[in-house]
């Protein structure tokens, strides 16, 4: 049976939804028709929220996390321990760790991991920014007072990225640790419960 084709505008809308991660053909059409069924005012609010987020969202100049100002609210919090940096793959992982309300350090967002199969090299993620940040931190504090927690996901690429970063940080003499494997291999921080995340943070292992 041939696929049913809707009007060009509906097809374009559904195709736009299909470009989002995890959205298949059927889900895209459901979302498209859900938008069509909205009152016009609500549909305009929906469209404007996308435009506003795209316009206002930027990267924190310190940790690279999503922010609407030059420095995010975490880096701007004077109560945070700036000598402890938790390195994560994406901004969603920052929120996952923040949910447990136990971590008092700051973050660094890589925006991905090293993945030769996908053609993603170290230069394509925020590793250089991390090294520069640690280097500057070492001019303000003793290296032994500084810790970098590598919280990349427990996948082949995540582990390889963690080891690569640990080798780059080794000359600085700072403590480098890895989250304990309370997180299942192949799992994502974004979907990990608070108790597991807390235990992983508490049981992190030193790499350097």
Q: Does domain 70-206 have CATH number 3.40.50.300?
A: no
Query: Of 129, 17, 131, nearest to 62 (Cα)?
Result: 129
What residues does each domain of the chain span? 8-56, 70-206
Q: What is this structure's pTM?
A: 0.80
Per-residue pLDDT tens over the stretch 64-88: 999 999 999 999 999 999 999 999 9
Confidence label for 196 from pLDDT (cuts 50, 70 and 90): confident
Tokens linked to 120: 């993603």
Q: What is the DSSP letter of 187?
A: -
What long-range pairs does 180-184 form, CB within 8 A, spacing at least 24? Answer: 180/204, 180/205, 181/154, 183/153, 183/154, 184/154
HEC readout, 63-101:
CCCEECCCCCCCCCCCCCEEEEEEEECCHHHHHHHHCCC
- Cβ of 32: how many Cβ atoms within 10 Å? 21
Q: What is the pLDDT of residue 4?
A: 66
Secondary structure of residue 5 in the 3-state scheme:
coil
8-56: CATH topology is: Helicase, Ruva Protein; domain 3 (1.10.8)
């Amino acid at each position: 049976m041939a696929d049913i084709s809707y009007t060009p505008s509906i097809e374009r809308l559904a195709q736009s939804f299909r470009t989002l991660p995890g959205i298949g053909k059927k889900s895209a059409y459901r979302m498209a028709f859900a938008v069509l069924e909205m009152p016009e005012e609500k549909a305009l609010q929906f469209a404007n929220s996308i435009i506003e987020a795209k316009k206002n969202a930027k990267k924190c100049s310190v940790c690279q996390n999503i922010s609407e100002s030059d420095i995010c609210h975490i880096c701007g919090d004077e109560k945070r321990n700036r000598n402890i940096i938790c390195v994560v793959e994406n901004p969603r992982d920052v929120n996952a760790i923040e949910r447990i309300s136990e971590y008092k350090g700051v973050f660094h967002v890589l925006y991905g991991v090293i993945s030769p199969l996908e053609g993603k090299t170290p230069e394509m993620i925020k590793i250089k920014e991390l090294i520069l940040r640690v280097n500057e931190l070492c001019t303000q504090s003793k290296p032994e007072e500084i810790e970098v927690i590598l919280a990349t996901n427990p996948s082949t690429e995540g582990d390889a990225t963690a080891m690569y970063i640990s080798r780059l940080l080794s000359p600085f003499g700072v403590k480098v640790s890895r989250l304990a494997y309370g997180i299942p291999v192949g799992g994502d921080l974004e979907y990990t419960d608070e108790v597991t995340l807390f235990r992983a943070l508490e049981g992190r292992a030193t790499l350097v």
